[in-house]
Amino acid sequence: MAQHRVIVVGGGLAGLAASVRIAEAGLPVDLFSMVPVKRSHSVCAQGGINACNDVARQQGYSEYQHFDETIYGGDFLADQPPVLEMTNWAPKIIDLLDRMGVPFNRSPEGRRDLRLFGGSLFKRTHFAGATTGQQLLYALDEQTRRYEVEGKVNKYEFWEFLWPVITGEGDARRCVGIVAQDLRTMQIRAFRADAVIMATGGCGLVFGKSTNSIICTGGAASRCYQAGAWYANPEMIQVHPTAIPGADKCRLMSESARGEGGRVWVPRKKGDTRAPRDIPDAERYYFLEERYPKYGNLVTRDIATREIFSICVDDAMGVGGENVVYLDLTHKDPDYLTRKLGGILEIYEKFVGEDPRKVPMKIFPAVHYSMGGLWTTYARGAFRPGAPAGEHKSGSLPPVGTALGVGMRYGAHENMRTNITGLYAFGEVNFAFHGANRLGANALLSCLFDGLFSGVSVVNYVREGEPAAKPAESLPAEVFDACVRQETAKADRLLATAAQGPGGPETNPYVIAREMGEEMTAASTVVKSGPRLEQAAAKIASLRERFSRVRLEDAAAWSNQSLSFTRALGDMLILAQIIIRAGAMRKESRGAHYRVDYPDRNDAEFMKTTCAAYDPGAADPHQITYRPIDADLVAPRARTYGKVDG
């Protein structure tokens, strides 16, 4: 009898949730991670995870309200059925995490506490202080270790994914394993699998400085794209409004700070150099509260980011003439802040040297998240049992408690599958849930939902789909050996350049990476324009030409980090090209994508998914088209968050 296996690439929440779900179904899992699983980037999530519970329901909240907020927050760019199903599952996911031992904050009555988060007027964000991601990751890792002890999960930590092994052509393509490299011994080898799940996170390093970990290059997603997987909505990059600017990177100051009452302001008088405590309240400009009185400091991230950017860059009203504003918590009780926000307060104090309980924090926006990612499909469910789709097209919310059915069909093989059979994408590396802008505290939810819900789809595919008749272990060795030779040749070419000696800044991978990050941040983050994107396209093309002559300064045969980084740099430059190209082609403003030359949303032409396909044999390898959006539940409406003009 065939021994089926599943490979999961990525040790964050999406990868761990998938590993647990698949192992509990009896299939062995090989789990690959570039770093120890508990150091995956999910550990950096701070503020919380959204879900409707009984307390939220007493406020008049519902799963459907959560769904509507997510679609509205994403500016109507997401397919609606997967989002509906994610929000339907959210309360069950929280209950499961609670049983796993996640130390959620509690109210005095012993219920799980809730906080406000951007894009909602309801408290519906569950949290564990300001280290929610860490607590969730550790809990999922404990569950994974249970299956590791039983021999159902085999961890490959310090291994880097290099390429998916794919058989067949066209629609008959099938992923049957991966090639990976041990970052300690530098061994490159192939691993067979009947299904491969990519759960490798975002691509923050394409922009140089970001709130992401240094492993978040997007290299794995780029390699899948180059191997034939489609990449969707690459232009949709989230810039978080509140981060600590740094010389090396930017450090996140969670949205939970605003959710717990933090206020964003600058002195009303331009050039006011007084200490913040010496500036009376009447002489402070709480610009988010004045411009958005309904939501105040809890407007969505894209809106808050643009307002802060405008205050500092356009109006030159930044604190001390710099590109920073105050995020002020000093009016709150210090003990309360320690209980609710201790994790981020310690980070600020460590890296800035000031206690944010006593002195307002100085913050500025920073690249944070990619709403775009590998394109995935799904099996649509019945929105309400026996009812036709489109029943709620008006956009008005149904009564609280209304039965809405399901958005996705549980267990269907195609849920979160890429356009390549057997290759799946879970978590931030896919594009499925957040449209043009992610709501804060929906990231942890989407990662866990993917693993827990679509993990069953992977199990069913392995047992009922192509692997049932032709398992990966039955395929000839040459299928895998050829892919190993391909990746070994790439590594050898790069290592051979070290013998040529230093080539100067033109061919230094770290210089090229810095220039790429600076250009991408300047051209394709908070505000964009056609001419600036064209300029960036030329610059990235120039950097790719320089990369073709890149030289390593380290030829070590053991733990060669320069090789890993340089290889990823080539893949990041490819992602940079489609981010810029897609941004130039989308001639509208929607969510995080703001074009000063096209400031309005254009539903008639662009309420569609950008879809990039890679053809290495074409004169232009990046083929970008648009796919229709499944929007039968909520009709698009103006996305204003109650803004007051003037």
Q: Does residue 253 share a domain with residue 199?
A: no
Mean pLDDT of 111-137: 96
Assign 3-class secondary structure to 103-156: CCCECCCCCECEECCCCCCCCCEECCCCCHHHHHHHHHHHHHHHHHHCCCEEEE
pTM score? 0.96
Q: Does residue 174 share a domain with residue 61?
A: yes
Backbone angles phi and psi of 238, in degrees to 5: -90, 130
CA–CA gap between residue 428 and residue 431 (Å, rounded): 7
Does residue 606 surpass a pLDDT of 60?
Answer: yes
Give the count of domains, the chain.
3
Q: Does residue 270 share a domain with residue 136?
A: no
* CA-closest candidate to residue 100, choices 149, 133, 141, 132: 141
Identify the domain boundary among 474, 494, 524: 474
Q: Does residue 532 share a domain with residue 572?
A: yes
Identify the domain boundary among 367, 391, 414: 367
Q: Does residue 502 share a domain with residue 416?
A: no
Q: What is the DSSP string of 449-476?
A: HIIIIIHHHHHHHHHHSHHHHS-GGGS-
CA–CA gap between residue 452 and residue 446 (Å, rounded): 10
Residue 617 maps to a domain: no
Does residue 396 surpass a pLDDT of 60?
Answer: no
Q: Does residue 172 share a domain with residue 138?
A: yes
List, for residues 438-468, the tens digit of each pLDDT value.
Answer: 999 999 999 999 999 999 999 999 999 999 9
CA–CA gap between residue 77 and residue 446 (Å, rounded): 16
Q: What is the DSSP string of 165-178?
A: EEESSGGG-EEEEE
- The torsion defined by the Cα of 114, 89, 237 and 425, in degrees rounded to 10, comes to 140
Residue 634 maps to a domain: no
Residue 307 maps to a domain: yes
Q: Does residue 447 share a domain with residue 354?
A: no
Residue 533 maps to a domain: yes
Note the residue count of the chain. Answer: 646
Q: Does residue 218 share a domain with residue 131?
A: yes
Residue 72 maps to a domain: yes
CATH number of 301's domain: 3.90.700.10
Residue 24, domain extent: 6-236+371-474
CATH number of 69's domain: 3.50.50.60
Residue type, 252: L
Cβ-based burial of 136 (10 A; exposed 0-12, middle 13-18, buried ≥19): buried
List, for residues 14-63, the tens digit of each pLDDT value.
Answer: 999 999 999 999 999 999 999 999 999 999 999 999 999 989 999 999 99
Q: Does residue 154 share a domain with residue 82?
A: yes
Mean pLDDT of 163-173: 95
To the nearest whole number, what is the mean pLDDT of the chain? 94
CA–CA gap between residue 475 and residue 203 (Å, rounded): 33
Q: Does residue 156 share a domain with residue 26?
A: yes
Q: Which residues are catalytic?
A: 301
CATH number of 560's domain: 1.20.58.100
Residue 442 maps to a domain: yes
- The model's confidence at residue 608, banded by pLDDT at 50, 70 and 90, is very high
Q: Does residue 402 share a domain with residue 492?
A: no
Does residue 159 surpass a pLDDT of 70?
Answer: yes
List, for residues 359-372, the tens digit of each pLDDT value.
Answer: 999 999 999 999 99
Q: Does residue 173 share a domain with residue 86?
A: yes
Where do we find the tokens 């032409």? 605
Identify the domain boundary among 343, 367, 391: 367
- The model's confidence at residue 395, banded by pLDDT at 50, 70 and 90, is very low
